[in-house]
Chain A
């Protein structure tokens, strides 16, 4: 018997139609909805930041990359910065040029340079430590 014949078999079709769709108990839907409600109470809304941790890492990496590019390129007009015994060559003109492009310009003083550097290192190292902790690299 072909599939078409099986499909058209009126007797079998009528048996299934007559056997009908069975119905579960009257509380069926309520039980499911109650379970869903209980689930949502047991698992309250978990805060999800708009910018994910990974996105923050990428942003931090880009920030540091820009910072390194601007500050630590050995340009002829680079100024020396003595930082904890390390002599870093800072191209202040590049920073000024970059900042003047975005809105304003100012001259970097040594104190500002150090603060700027410290702030970047602090933020970046904290982000890296936080990320590594969350991935159980170390407890």
Chain B
């Protein structure tokens, strides 16, 4: 389905047109759910958080000034909802596991993925992402999947510019490390 600009649906919803809100949900539900899932790492919880966020957005839509993007506002609500419910760890705690991540990874790890079937690859990638810390997977998802810039990520998460860059760097390294680990486990299983 080809969607219109968000403001088109928002204006309709503000005039009392509920079906337009259903379209707005359909347009953003995938990314909203994915972001919640990256934080809480549980499908049921992620669905509940995303639904709660869409309800909050509906109830305060009249206060949305449309100065920033609707998606940025939505992701911020999802992020805050998820964090307020589930976050227990402090930010910026460099664990021993982080220290163990090698600086560079071999090209052969990329090749390992290349020979796998699409469904298997997707499963492995999802597993690797789910093994990242919630702040790392959130920032990586917003940066690579939603293609938001640092300023927008700052607005959503409240992290500083340098914090985001550290999380991107660390998350990227850890993702490659986890992929390598999973691939090795898969090979051992096959053998």
Shortest C-beta distance, A118 to chain B (Å), equals 44
Secondary structure at chain A's binding surface: helix, strand, loop or mixed?
Answer: helix
Residues of A within 8 A of B26 (CB): 29
Closest chain B residue to A29, Cβ basis: B25
Closest chain B residue to A1, Cβ basis: B169
Residues of B within 8 A of A12 (CB): 140, 144, 172, 175-176
Contact call A18/B33, Cβ cutoff below 8 A: no
Type the 1/0 row for A16-33, where 1 means its CB is closer than 8 Å to any CB of B.
111111111100110111
Contact call B33/A23, Cβ cutoff below 8 A: yes
Contact call B172/A6, Cβ cutoff below 8 A: yes
Residues of A within 8 A of B25 (CB): 28-29, 32-33
With A16-B141, A29-B29 known as contacts, the answer to whether A6 contacts B169 (CB < 8 A) is yes
- B150 on the A face (CB < 8 A): yes
23-64 of chain A: CB within 8 A of chain B: 23-25, 28-29, 31-33, 35-37, 39
Contact call B168/A24, Cβ cutoff below 8 A: no
75-113 of chain B: CB within 8 A of chain A: 110
Chain B: interface residue total (CB-CB under 8 A): 40
Secondary structure at chain B's binding surface: helix, strand, loop or mixed?
Answer: helix
Closest chain A residue to B110, Cβ basis: A11
1-42 of chain B: CB within 8 A of chain A: 18, 21-22, 25-26, 29-31, 33-34, 37
- B126 on the A face (CB < 8 A): yes
Q: How far is the CA of A18 from the CA of B125 in the complex (A)?
A: 8
Contact call A19/B150, Cβ cutoff below 8 A: no
- B54 on the A face (CB < 8 A): yes
Contact call A21/B144, Cβ cutoff below 8 A: no
Shortest C-beta distance, A40 to chain B (Å), equals 9
Contact call A31/B51, Cβ cutoff below 8 A: yes
48-96 of chain A: CB within 8 A of chain B: none
Q: How far is the CA of A79 from the CA of B34 in the complex (A)?
A: 81
B contact residues vs A (CB 8 Å cutoff):
18, 21-22, 25-26, 29-31, 33-34, 37, 46-47, 50-51, 54-55, 58-59, 110, 118, 121-122, 125-126, 128-129, 140-141, 143-145, 150, 165, 168-169, 172, 175-176, 179
Between A and B, 29 residue pairs with Cβ closer than 8 Å are A3-B168, A6-B168, A7-B143, A12-B175, A12-B176, A13-B144, A15-B129, A15-B175, A18-B121, A18-B125, A19-B122, A19-B129, A20-B122, A21-B31, A21-B34, A21-B145, A22-B30, A22-B34, A22-B37, A23-B33, A24-B29, A24-B47, A24-B50, A28-B33, A29-B22, A29-B25, A29-B29, A32-B25, A33-B22
Add 11 more A-B contacts to A12-B140, A32-B25 (CB < 8 A): A12-B172, A12-B176, A15-B144, A15-B175, A19-B125, A21-B145, A22-B34, A22-B46, A22-B126, A24-B29, A24-B33
